[in-house]
Copies of this chain bind each other. A is one copy, B any other.
Amino acid sequence: MKKEYCGIFAIYGNERAARMTYFGLYALQHRGQECAGIVTWDGQKSREQRGMGLVAEIFTERHLEHELKGNIAVGHVRYSTAGASLIRNAQPFTVRHGELEISIAHNGNLINALELRRELESQGAIFQSTMDTEVIAHYIVKYLQKADLEEAVRRACSHIKGAFSLVILVNDTMIALRDPNGIRPLSMGKLGNSYVFASETCAFDIMDATYLRDLEQSEMVIIEKGKIRSAFLREKAPKKQCIFELVYFARPDSQVFDLSVYGCRKRMGEILAQESAGVTDIDYVLPFPSSGNYAAVGYAQEAKLPLELAMIRNNYVGRTFIQPTQEMRDFSVNMKLNPVKDAIKGKKILIVEDSIVRGTTVRTRINRLKDCGAKEIHLRVSCPPVKFPCYYGIDFSSKGELIAANHTVEEIAKFIGLDSLHYLSVEGLQASVPTGEDFCYACFTGEYPIDYSGELCRMRLDK
């Protein structure tokens, strides 16, 4: 699954600000492996380091110890599709205006970025990147001519539509905020006397920071001259948190939207078991690690079936290896996961996966299990069929590539070669989380919480 998620970490008032941000980004690495950056404020000016690749590859001891000075820092990890893999798209995005240095770390996607960009351009604005984040910077600067920072940010955000959790650093003032629908997560915590912000709480755990709470939708938390206060962008819109964070994207050891990801996934598995109770004589439940593990635990407990961990992940598969030639194409799938042959042979197996997008990888895996002698293979998916594109930050393959957009469940089962296939229902998914109505299910239902008026909003700036 292609994705455009990002991860944010920020810290205010810590003498090891850059180092803590490094560790925070390390914990958030799953949210973006393409590029990363850290900006600090050294008391006089901002310092920055950005690069392509993993956090551990970009930053060195020299950066943390000597260059990224200061006790305020903002960091970002980013994943994006190949076309825009440019260092200049690495965040935090920094611009200068007079004495002000404005850095923005953004998680989410604006649906009216292109319209706003055209509008700003008609007023003479120029752009360096192809990121939607750049329009936010333009508006903040524009309103700073006539308003203070809090008000400038508020007015800037009044223009933008879509999903945005932001940490904005203007010299030594930090503002963290979530969009009015609260689509993307953002948590705050405390580490000694420092304040910390992160997309997921796993970034707090690594440094034993205390999780305080999530930012509310539309909330701005402002830290200025060491004082913290809360304000609001505008009236809150209905909460429409991204359910896919819980289904797939967030780490299971995180709290996201004030919910335990692990607990939610296990509950999805339980409800999935209830919904698809029909098949009998199953020998055991098998997750595809590691994404399917947690729903599988719930499914197995609910269905009172044994759980076997008989698909083995090669822990050394990294991002780079020599591609098999055309006729060895399945090698790369085999390299990542390999079944335990004698645990497969002659067995009726129920597999739990968290999602199916194009269906080709799962098909290769299922074929392999059949080659190993599996008697029956049943697949249970812990979310509903993904039928609609997401405009708020998850870059699913285009609609044409979403297998569920164009095929029935039966067709999919046949394509993959399954004895049975069940998806969790939308209602079941909604029931898996304590406050099911507070989430966006648009990728399953096509009911988009934020209206979009034209094609323009869906165009990507870099295309």
Binding site for B on A (CB under 8 A): 19, 22-23, 26-27, 29-30, 33, 54-56, 59-61, 64, 87-88, 94-98, 102, 118, 121-128, 130, 137-138, 141-142, 145, 202, 205-208, 251-253, 255, 260, 262-263, 290, 293-294, 297, 300-301, 306-310, 312-318, 320-322, 324-325, 328, 330-331, 334-335, 338-343
Instruction: State which of B33, B61, B263, B318 has its C-beta within 8 Å of the C-beta of A322.
Output: B61
The reply to whether A130 and B27 contact each other, CB–CB distance below 8 Å, is: no
Q: How far is the CA of A128 from the CA of B90 in the complex (A)?
A: 13
The reply to whether B95 and A126 contact each other, CB–CB distance below 8 Å, is: yes
Q: How far is the CA of A302 from the CA of B294 in the complex (A)?
A: 21
Can you offer 28 A-B residue contacts whose CB atoms are under 8 A?
Answer: A19-B322, A22-B322, A23-B335, A27-B314, A27-B338, A30-B314, A55-B321, A56-B316, A56-B321, A61-B322, A64-B322, A87-B87, A96-B126, A97-B121, A97-B125, A97-B127, A123-B124, A206-B338, A208-B334, A251-B312, A253-B310, A260-B340, A260-B342, A260-B343, A262-B312, A263-B342, A297-B306, A297-B308
List, in ascending order, chain B residues with CB within 8 A of A94's CB. Answer: 128
In the complex, the chain B residue whose C-beta lies closest to that of A64 is B322
The reply to whether B205 and A338 contact each other, CB–CB distance below 8 Å, is: yes
Q: How far is the CA of A64 from the CA of B322 in the complex (A)?
A: 9
The reply to whether B340 and A262 contact each other, CB–CB distance below 8 Å, is: yes
In the complex, the chain B residue whose C-beta lies closest to that of A313 is B290
The reply to whether A312 and B252 contact each other, CB–CB distance below 8 Å, is: yes
Known: A121-B98, A252-B312. A343 touches B30 (CB 8 A): no
In the complex, the chain B residue whose C-beta lies closest to that of A211 is B341
The reply to whether A138 and B126 contact each other, CB–CB distance below 8 Å, is: yes
The reply to whether A30 and B316 contact each other, CB–CB distance below 8 Å, is: yes
List, in ascending order, chain B residues with CB within 8 A of A316's CB. Answer: 26, 29-30, 33, 54-56
- Least CB distance from A71 to B in Å reads 16
Q: How far is the CA of A58 from the CA of B208 in the complex (A)?
A: 37
Known: A26-B316, A141-B126, A315-B30. A340 touches B306 (CB 8 A): no
Counting from the closest, the 9 A-B pairs by CB-CB distance are A253-B312, A29-B316, A262-B340, A95-B126, A56-B321, A253-B338, A260-B342, A96-B127, A126-B141
In the complex, the chain B residue whose C-beta lies closest to that of A118 is B98
The reply to whether B125 and A128 contact each other, CB–CB distance below 8 Å, is: no
The reply to whether A294 and B315 contact each other, CB–CB distance below 8 Å, is: no
The reply to whether B324 and A23 contact each other, CB–CB distance below 8 Å, is: yes
The reply to whether A315 and B290 contact each other, CB–CB distance below 8 Å, is: yes
Instruction: State which of B124, B260, B306 has its C-beta within 8 Å of the C-beta of A145.
Output: B124
- Least CB distance from A318 to B in Å reads 6
Q: How far is the CA of A272 from the CA of B99 in the complex (A)?
A: 49
Beyond the given A23-B335, A253-B339, A262-B343, please list 14 additional residue pairs across the A-B interface where CB-CB is below 8 A: A26-B314, A26-B316, A30-B314, A59-B322, A96-B130, A97-B121, A98-B121, A205-B341, A252-B312, A260-B343, A262-B310, A263-B340, A294-B309, A300-B307
List, in ascending order, chain B residues with CB within 8 A of A253's CB. Answer: 310, 312, 338-341
Instruction: State which of B122, B290, B307 has its C-beta within 8 Å of the C-beta of A297.
Output: B307
